[in-house]
Structure 1
Amino acid sequence: MLELVVHPRVSARHPQLSDEDVRVAWQNSFFQALRTGSKNSPEYLWIGIDGKGREIEMVGVPTATGYLIYHANTPLSKRVRDEVKGRRT
């Protein structure tokens, strides 16, 4: 099983999101994309639903044992909505 680490800055910047909210959303993700143009490559974007029914955007990088999520937000930002729309057309 992959280890998922949620960086402390996520809840510091977005107090409405707990680490558990992010973990549940990641486990229930329905969208995943490799962001090839990122300076943090390989960087991934996920969108998932947390236990409260909220869509959460998550950005992270692979680690030796799983993934580090260093950004999460709800609701989805316009930038992420546009990125997803661009990938689906």
Structure 2
Amino acid sequence: GFYGFGGYSGDSDMKKLTAETGGRLIEVGNKTEKLKQAFDQISEELRSQYNIGYVPTNSVKNGGFRRVQIRSKDGYKIQARSGYFAMPDKD
């Protein structure tokens, strides 16, 4: 696995990182076939994803956490982070 990035290490930390960022962990171990399946799955997801954006109504950038909730109809799978930190602009 890929470990040590940004202070995260080990499987439980990597799962925590993916949960915090709206991603997910694909475990392949050292099996070539699982790695191929993972790349096939990622390739398929990249062909069928959408990106959305919005402008928040709360313009205060005080470093606070802002929740983001996305819902869909028709059983679409939503993969997104749960929110973001409204950080002040850097000078």
Tell me which interval the TM-score lies in, with the shorter structure as reference length: under 0.3
Q: Which structure carries more helix by proportion? A: 2
User: TM-score scaled by structure 1?
Assistant: 0.23
Q: Return the TM-score normalized by structure 2.
A: 0.22
